[in-house]
Amino acid sequence: MAQIREIKKRMVAVKTIQRITKTMQMIATAKFTAALQRSKATRPYTDRIRQLVGEVSSAAGEVENPLLGGARKSGRELVLVVTSDRGLCGAYNGSVLRRAMQEIRARRGEKRDLVIETVGKKASSFFKFQRIDVAERHSFGDKPAFDAVASVAQRYMDDFTAGKIDAVHVVFMRFISAAKQVPDVMQLLPLSLDSEAGAANAANSPASTKGASTVYEFAPSAPALLDELLPKSVKVSLFQALNDAIVSENVMRMVAMKAATDNAGGLGRTLKRNYNRARQAKITTELTEIIAGAAALE
């Protein structure tokens, strides 16, 4: 009888967990849909800014801008690690943190002095456990405001142009599709005009346009335009990385909660089968005892 009661308690517990995980799956689905819409809305602007920078830099030729870097001065680099504030999102945080540790070890192997900053409580807890100092902890929530992200990017640009840091790298989960998310490292600073020009050339390829060799005249001048466009490119690139990270977090939480719900359903069916077997065995035992007692009285 004790075994039957124990199985019954586990069945109730599993059903409760299944309801909770199902609710969390529905919440994650709603958040994923909203985050994906925000990411898709900002993606064309980000791509167009990068394309425009590539076009202007190609026309300007050799340009000088503090954000393009130069000789190393301080020997310090900054690594920003983007994780979530909450768990229960599968391998999301583990994948990002493993990629971050690979980057940190590689940079330290090159005798670089690193400054670590984090976004999300999971990264802060991880580096605290690893006894790695964190210079600053950021929190932007599920809906990062562009002004807040732009202020952080502006501080990075100010420190970079002042020679306090030589480079800024962002470790985050890049969203490819609902079925694929990849931990990636983005070099935020210094900016590389080669990659921007490559994006512009891809956009201006013969397959997409016939005016790839057109010579443009800029007013104001191309260097003046770059002075305005390069800071915007840094800000929107960081903002897009955070949006990608949030979309990836929610889609991976949605998948993890669906798997947990399915596993709870399977375990519930197994427990119900075990409960029926134990109950049938108990009934059979009682019937056997009654028949044996009646036979003894004859």
pLDDT at 261: 94
Residue 2 reports pLDDT greater than 70? no
Report the alpha-carbon distance of residue 56 to residue 196 in Å, rounded: 10
Per-residue confidence at 225, pLDDT binned at 50, 70, 90? Answer: confident
Q: What is the DSSP letter of 166?
A: S
Q: Which residues contact 295 (CB under 8 A, 6 or more apart)?
A: none
Selected residue with higher pLDDT from 197 and 157: 157
Average pLDDT, the chain: 86
Is residue 173 scored above 80 in pLDDT?
yes
pLDDT beyond 50 at 289: yes
Report pLDDT digits (tens) over 108-134: 887 778 999 999 999 999 999 999 999
- Model confidence pLDDT, tens digit, residues 196-223: 555 545 444 444 444 444 566 666 777 7
Strands 180-189 and 76-82, by their bridges, are unpaired
231-274 confidence digits (pLDDT tens): 999 999 999 999 999 999 999 999 999 999 999 999 999 999 99
The fold of the 27-253 domain, in CATH, is Pyruvate Kinase; Chain: A, domain 1 (3.40.1380)
Res. 70 pLDDT band, cuts 50 70 90: low
Helix (H) or strand (E) holding 114: strand 113-119
> Residue 281 pLDDT more than 70?
yes
Average pLDDT over residues 80-103: 94
Quote the CA–CA distance of 102 and 184 in Å, as a whole number. Answer: 11
Q: Which of 24-33, 82-91, 110-119, 152-161 has the lowest mean pLDDT?
A: 110-119
**Contact call for residues 243 and 36 (beta carbons, < 8 A):** no
Q: What is the pLDDT of residue 129?
A: 94
Tokens representing 240? Answer: 């897009």
pLDDT band, residue 67 (cuts 50/70/90): confident
- Retrieve residue 143's tokens: 């809906």
User: Which tops the pLDDT comparison, 297 or 199?
Assistant: 297
